[in-house]
C-alpha cells in the first residue's frame, strides 16, 4: 500500500467568495516520473491570490480551482519522490503551478521545488518562490548597473525588486502611496516617493531608464509607467492583470522606443536555485515576513493581505 492510499487528506476550499473551509478530500495521487509528493507545512499569500480568494474565479487557464485553491508559494517535506534529486524526508520549497497548494499533500514537478536553504525555517523559505520570479524577470533585462530604476508598488514583490536592483547597481526609486520609509533602506530604496504613480510622473526630474510595474490587478498604473520610462528605456509589466484588455499610450511608447517586457516565469528550476542562494546571502530579506498565522486563521490571513498598511508586508501560513 502506498503512502497516498492510506488515508484522506485535508485541504482548504472556497465554499463562497472570500471564505475558505477545511475539508477532507481524496488523497493526492502518487507522483509520476519527474515528480515529488510534498506534505505542505507552510505557504505564503501572494497578491495574485487575493482576487481569486475574494471572487472565487479563475483568472488564468493555468489555475486549477478546487481543493487547495488559491495558493502557490509552498514549503514542506517530501513524502515520496520519483526524481533522483529528492528523497523522502527532504525539506523543499517552491511553486505549486496549479495554484492548489493549500492542502496537506501536493504533487508537483521536481523542477518547481528546491532544497530549503541551510539555516532557514519552512516559514522563512516561502520567500524563495516570489524572489525567484524577480530573479527571472530581472535576468531578462539588460545590465542595470549605473542606471536609474523606478519600482511602482512597494508591497512584498516591489520591495524584492528594489533590493535586487540595488544589489545589482541600479539607482532605485520606490513609489507607493503607503509610507514604506521604515523599510526603505533595508530593501535598497535609494529614493522614496510616497504617493501615486501619476504624482511621481508629474514631479520626477526625469523618467527612469528601468521601470517596474509591480502593482497589477487594475489598468490605471501601466499607462503612467509608460510615461515614466525614459527614451530607449525598459518597462517590465510585472503586476498580474485581471483584465483582458488595456488602453495604453502606444504612440508615446513607440516614439521613445521603449522595450516592454511581459509574462510570468517560464523556467522555474534555475530561478528557484538562484533565489535560494540569494536569500541565503541576504538574510535581511526575512524581515519582510511581518505576520505568521496558523491553520485556524486561514481566512484572517487572506483578509489581512487585502489591505495595505505600513506595518503589513508578507503574510505566511504555518500549517503544522
Q: What would the grid cell of residue 36 be?
A: 515529488
Q: Say if residue 122 is in the same domain as residue 144.
A: no
Residues 154, 121, single domain; the answer is: no
Per-residue model confidence (pLDDT) at position 2:
56
CB 272 within 8 A of CB 108: no
| Residue 275 maps to a domain | no
Q: Does the pLDDT of residue 150 top 50, yes or no? A: yes
Q: Write out pLDDT tens, residues 89-137.
A: 999 999 998 899 999 999 999 999 999 999 999 999 999 999 999 999 9
Tally of domains in the chain: 2
The CATH number covering residue 189 comes to 3.40.50.720
Give the model's pLDDT for residue 1. 40
pTM score: 0.96
DSSP helix/strand/coil, 251: helix
Res 169 pLDDT > 90:
yes
Distance CA 45, CA 264 (A): 17
The CB density around residue 180, as the number of other CB atoms within 10 Å, is 22
Nearest-5° angle of CA 171, CA 174, CA 175?
145
Mean pLDDT over all residues of the chain? 95
Do 93 and 143 share a structural domain?
no
pLDDT at 319 > cutoff 80: yes
What residues make up the domain containing 162?
Answer: 133-261
Within-domain flag for 118: yes
pLDDT of residue 7: 78
Amino acid at each position: 500500500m502506498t503512502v497516498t492510499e492510506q488515508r484522506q487528506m485535508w485541504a482548504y476550499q472556497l465554499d463562497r467568495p472570500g471564505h475558505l473551509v477545511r475539508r477532507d478530500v481524496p488523497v493526492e495521487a502518487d507522483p509520476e516520473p519527474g515528480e515529488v509528493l510534498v506534505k505542505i507545512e507552510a505557504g505564503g499569500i501572494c497578491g495574485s491570490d487575493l482576487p481569486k480568494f475574494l471572487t472565487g474565479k479563475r483568472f488564468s487557464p493555468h489555475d486549477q480551482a478546487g481543493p487547495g485553491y488559491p495558493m502557490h508559494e509552498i514549503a514542506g517535506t517530501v513524502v515520496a519522490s520519483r526524481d533522483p534529486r529528492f528523497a523522502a524526508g527532504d525539506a523543499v520549497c517552491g511553486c505549486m503551478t496549479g495554484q492548489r497548494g493549500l492542502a496537506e499533500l501536493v504533487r508537483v514537478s521536481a523542477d518547481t521545488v528546491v532544497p530549503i536553504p541551510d539555516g532557514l525555517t519552512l516559514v522563512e523559505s516561502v520567500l524563495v518562490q516570489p524572489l525567484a520570479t524577480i530573479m527571472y524577470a530581472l535576468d531578462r533585462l539588460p545590465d542595470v548597473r549605473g542606471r536609474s530604476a523606478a519600482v511602482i508598488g512597494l508591497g512584498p514583490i516591489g520591495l524584492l525588486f528594489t533590493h535586487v536592483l540595488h544589489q545589482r547597481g541600479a539607482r532605485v526609486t520606490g513609489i507607493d502611496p503607503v509610507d514604506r520609509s521604515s523599510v526603505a533602506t533595508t530593501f535598497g530604496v535609494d529614493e522614496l516617493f510616497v504617493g501615486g504613480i501619476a504624482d511621481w510622473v508629474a514631479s520626477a526630474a526625469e523618467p527612469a531608464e528601468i521601470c517596474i510595474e509591480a502593482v497589477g490587478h487594475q489598468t490605471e498604473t501601466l499607462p503612467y509607467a509608460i510615461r515614466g520610462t525614459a527614451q530607449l528605456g525598459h518597462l517590465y509589466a510585472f503586476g498580474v492583470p485581471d483584465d483582458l484588455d488595456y488602453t495604453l499610450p502606444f504612440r508615446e511608447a513607440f516614439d521613445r522606443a521603449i522595450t516592454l517586457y511581459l509574462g510570468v516565469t517560464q523556467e522555474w528550476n534555475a530561478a528557484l536555485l538562484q533565489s535560494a542562494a540569494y536569500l541565503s546571502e541576504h538574510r535581511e530579506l526575512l524581515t519582510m515576513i511581518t505576520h505568521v498565522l496558523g491553520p485556524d486563521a486561514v481566512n484572517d490571513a487572506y483578509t489581512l493581505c487585502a489591505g495595505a498598511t505600513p506595518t503589513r508586508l508578507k503574510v505566511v501560513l504555518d500549517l503544522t
